[in-house]
A and B are shown apart, each in its own frame.
Chain A
């Protein structure tokens, strides 16, 4: 009799432990997902910061710096796409793809100039226009990443 009660007690504790472990595992998974999203936000924030620097370099006609920064932005955006493929909507992933394409064209345009030769107004306008659009594309993706992070943070707090 005592043995049976002890067995049942053991069974209950085992079931309870399974639920506790499952909850802990789910919580850990959610925390990891949140941490990954935070990194996506940071990555896109870094890209946005760099694209703002590109704007300043274009104004100062520092073409070598433009090229370097543009390459860094491409790498950062590519990391954002490959490391967190499921954290952005297709529309915002397209925005990141567009930003990569545009900064690539800025880098190419910048490589055709050095600090000794001038640039036509029309050419500079095209670079500026591409820069503004690249910035808009990254901002849109960053907006979604931030919203997603805030939503997950609220859900975690509620739990």
Chain B
């Protein structure tokens, strides 16, 4: 079960994603996004599908220098993991910028 600190970490990641102070990027894997911290930590969020088709989310914090997994939290343990995944996806794929571009394009259409 995630500890209070784990929940605090999740909230910190969500807040930092909102403010844009951390930079998420896509990976070679489907449904996976990652970011780096403090020059030695890696955070990966992942979505997978259960055999019954349900979506499942993970957040993994790794100490890259030591090549060691520090924290792994699933959606079943904390709902915030899904929220973080969706925000990381939006940020890494520049979804908001794309929407702004589409809206701006729509405004340019002369009627």
Contact = CB atoms under 8 A, between A and B. Distances in A.
Interface residues on A, range: 20 to 34
Contacts of B41: 97
B27 A102 contact: yes
Main secondary structure of the interface of A (DSSP, over half): helix
Chain B interface bracket (under 10, 10 to 19, 20 to 34, 35 or more): 20 to 34
Given A90-B38, A94-B36, A101-B44, A78 B67 contact: yes
Contacts, number: 72
B12 interface: no
Interface string B22-35: 00011111101011
A105 B37 contact: no
Contacts of A78: 64-65, 67
Interface in A85-139: 85, 88, 90-98, 100-102, 105-106, 108-109, 123, 126-127, 129-131, 133
B39 interface: yes
